Structure 1
Amino acid sequence: MRTDTPSADTGQPCAVVRRGRPRSEAAEQAIFTAVEDLMADGKALSELTIEGIATAAGVGKATIYRRWPNKEALLVDLVSRLEEPLPAPTGGGAREDLIAMVDYIRRRGLAKRTRWVLKATLGQMQTLPELHNAYRERVIKPRREVGILAIRRAVAEGLIRDDLDVELLGDLLMGPILYRSILSDDTDLEDPDLARQLVDSVLDGIGRR
């Protein structure tokens, strides 16, 4: 193993292989907790600084910069780690996969700790374009692609008409549950049968005649 220690101001993306000591899970957890605590105390995303996060976490700024090149990269990792893993294919066909995807979003909305961080982050993300773009690439895009893939399978299976725009169909299927997850109370998400109802209602309107 290499023993040379990277400079704190290298600006290397967090995805590259790091030199020096192995990552400290305890340090990372302290940093993530510090960000959440600062946000809970009313700090806006634009007000967060690497120095302030380091102080709240009880670590040096170099500890943060060894892991993330900037604040935006740190915040994207924070949000990403709170996300549940994407649902695996059910093996039961496109309809079941669509239901599983919608139910994944429903359960994600019910995760209260995740939910307030997402609400706070999404509500302020437009003020930080770099964070917004990274969130779209790391979080939104992979989930949308899973949904679109299930829709294409539904078309191939004859469940959905083949003359419709699959991107628009993705919005029709995922839009209602996303709306409830972000804007509604928990009581609107608690029904475990909600995903099936939503998917079957949409499929009934766009299915092959």
Structure 2
Amino acid sequence: PAGGASAPAPRRGRPRSEAVEQAIYEAVGGLLDDGVPLTELSVERIARTAGVGKATIYRRWSGKEDLFVDLLRSLEPPDPVLPGTSVRDDLVALLEALRRRGLAKRSSALLHTVFSQMQLYPKLWDAYRLTVIEPRRRLGLDAVRRGMEEGEIRDDLDAEFVNDLFVGPLLLRTVVRPDSSDLEPGLAERVVDALLDGLRPRA
């Protein structure tokens, strides 16, 4: 590959498809780098820039919102696989994934650009929320509910409220203070341990 970058071996029968998808992602990135607002990126313009037909894009995505969501997914760290060894371990894995996502957003100009413009594009934000944020949120809620059932977390509190307590510090440091350097290693463990200590069932 160009620049000596290593890439995983393509799956059999898929290299052409993956190459086309990468060309489309790079076309979107190039247009955004050139200052084209997200709201002005049409499927036709993306296809022309990528050197493919519009039908090629519509075979893969129902519209540009789905394309943009998949582009964001390709730039972010993968969703965590929960170890399942304890509620604490699952919560740490979830928060560590949020920490890595925050670091990726800081280091990727394209991620930063898309996220900063998403608020101006409600259809994209809704698509991202439904297909990416909500499944992750359900993972956290499931872990919190298991903690309540297993006696590790007070069960007299609303599970969504407790989940927000865990996620809040990571979102604060990622969204509200994006220029700070406080997404340090070990943050997930510190947040989970501090909260679990305070959320133990009352005697």
The percent of aligned pairs where both chains have the same amino acid is 53
The counterpart of 1:42, out of the listed 32, 35, 47, is 35
| 2:136 pairs with 1:143 | yes
Map residues 186-201 of structure 1 onto 2, 5 A cutoff: 187-189=181-183, 191-201=184-194
> Do 1:154 and 1:160's aligned partners in 2 also have CA atoms closer than 8 Å?
yes
Look up the SS of the partner of 1:121 in the other structure: helix
Letter in 2 for 1:36: G
Counterpart CA distance in 2 for 1:114 and 1:53 is 24
TM-score (ref. length: structure 1): 0.80
Are positions 1:95 and 2:95 aligned together? Answer: no
Matches of 2:198 and 2:63, distance apart in 1: 46
Which whole-Å CA distance do the structure 2 matches of 1:180 and 1:91 have between them? 27
Instruction: State the Cα deviation string for residues 93-130 of structure 1 (Å, max 9, x = none).
Output: 10111011101111122225875444333332233332
Gaps of 5+ in 2: 1-14
User: Aligned in 2, Cα 1:138/1:56: closer, same or farther, shift over 3 Å?
Assistant: same
Where in structure 1 are there 5+ consecutive unaligned residues?
Answer: 1-21
Indicate which of 82, 93, 107 corresponds to 2:75: 82
Q: Deviations over 1:57-78 (max 9, x none)?
A: 1222222222223211211121
Aligned partner of 1:157 among 143, 150, 155 = 150
Q: CA deviation at 1:186?
A: 6.2
CA distance in 1, matches of 2:138, 2:160: 10
Normalised by the length of structure 2, the TM-score is 0.82
* 1:109/1:115 contact within 8 Å kept: no
Compared with structure 1, are the counterparts of its residues 136 and 112 closer, same or farther at alpha carbon in structure 2 (3 Å cutoff)? closer
Shift of 1:39: 1.6
How many residue pairs were aligned? 188
1:143/1:116 CA distance change after superposition, 3 Å:
farther
Contact 1:82 1:114 (8 Å CA) reproduced: no
Runs of 4+ in 1 over 4 A off after TM superposition: 112-115
Q: Is the 8 A contact 2:141 2:159 kept in 1?
A: yes
Distance 2:148 2:107 in 1: 33
Answer with 142-151 or 57-66: which moved more: 57-66
Letter in 2 for 1:165: D
Q: Which moved more, 1:128-137 or 1:104-113?
A: 104-113
2:19 pairs with 1:26: yes
Distance 1:37 1:113 in 2: 19
SS of equivalent residue, structure 2 residue 155: coil
The CA distance in 2 between the partners of 1:90 and 1:26, in whole Å, is 33
Q: Within 2, Cα distance between the matches of 1:116 and 1:169?
A: 33
**Number of the residue aligned with 1:18:** none
| SS class of match (1:42) | coil
| 1:108–1:114 Cα contact (<8 Å) kept | no
